[in-house]
Amino acid sequence: MPLPVSAALDHWLARGRFWPCQGYRHFVASAGHGPALLLLHGYPTGSFDWQPLWPRLSAHRRLIAPDFLGLGFSDKPAEALYTISAHADRIEQLLAEEGIDALSIVAHDLGVSVAQELLARVQEGRSRLHIHALVLLNGGLCPEAYQPRFIQRLLASPLGAWIGPRVSRAAFERTLRELFAAQPPAALLDDFWTLLEHQQGRRVAHRTGAFWRDRMAQRDRLVQALLSPRRPPLRLINGSADPNSGRHMADAFLALSPSTEVVHLPDVGHWPQWEAADAVSAALLGFLESHPAAATP
């Protein structure tokens, strides 16, 4: 039986379509006109995470917000590849079919690692994309500084395939509450659970969530992509109270790149777009408008 979908999720579904790729359906939300802006979400939710920013961003940009395979409303096959590279492959194919080769990127959590992979490919001459600007929200910029929750470690362990389908809603919500600085609304936790449970997503949670080990294995290449002199303009927007990738992550990256622009949100957790939508929208749009290439179609 399909899960009941809240009014908020139903409204989000109405913003998008299902795009076929590699034999699977991928949900893609889109809106607006103007310079292309790719929105890459995190784990374990979906593109719905951009909903609080959507009205302001879509008034200024052409938005493309896919659900990664295995997450959100996209298909969740047991046999698919869920590596950072595989996600990036599918994103590049989507952009090619949309006729987009010049864009800016806003990314969060898992999406940050995929953005780093895309940027590395550009610098290696393996991608046709022109990335005008990057805005990165809480994610594993420096993999060695990332502090995964206990349940994430369990899912990435040899027991992950057994544990994933047995993760209770109580354990799921307890972990999410740790990542918010303020108490998240019950309705939002309902929606996050619905996104996880869509197409029995817990069956592949151990595979979709293992990206943090994947990026550790590629640490030097992914970090160097952000340190290269050929890197596009970059701004970090950091919810400092995030125990996974908060102030300590921003500080770790600043130690490598002291001139990087950082917007610190001191009383905000892992999802700045949910906890501080106005501040994130202003910081994001202000940055894009300050760089002419990112502000021009």
pLDDT per residue over 71-114, tens digit each?
Answer: 999 999 999 999 999 999 999 999 999 999 999 999 999 999 99
- Output the pTM of the full model: 0.96
What value does the CA radius of gyration of the chain take, rounded to a whole number of Å? 18
The rounded distance, in Å, linking the Cα atoms of 34 and 58 is 9
The residue whose two tokens read 């109405």 is: 14
- Are 237 and 278 a contacting pair, CB within 8 Å? no
Share of the chain above pLDDT 70, in %: 97
Render 75-134 in DSSP notation, one character per residue: ---TTS--SHHHHHHHHHHHHHHHT--EEEEEE-THHHHHHHHHHHHHHTT----EEEEE
pLDDT of residue 78: 94
Checking if the pLDDT of 271 tops 50, the result is: yes
The rounded distance, in Å, linking the Cα atoms of 196 and 8 is 15
- Are 239 and 137 a contacting pair, CB within 8 Å? yes
pLDDT of residue 1: 42
- The closest alpha carbon to 234, from 201, 296, 283, belongs to 283
Q: Which residue has the higher pLDDT, 2 or 42?
A: 42
Give 11's Cβ-side CA count (13 Å radius): 9
Checking if the pLDDT of 287 tops 60, the result is: yes
Q: Which pLDDT band, with edges at 50, 70 and 90, does 296 fall under? A: low
What is the b/e burial string over 258-268, where b = at least 16 CB atoms within 10 angstroms of the residue's CB? Answer: eebebbebeeb
Residues 263-268 have a mean pLDDT of 97
pLDDT per residue over 14-50, tens digit each?
Answer: 999 999 999 999 999 999 999 999 999 999 999 999 9
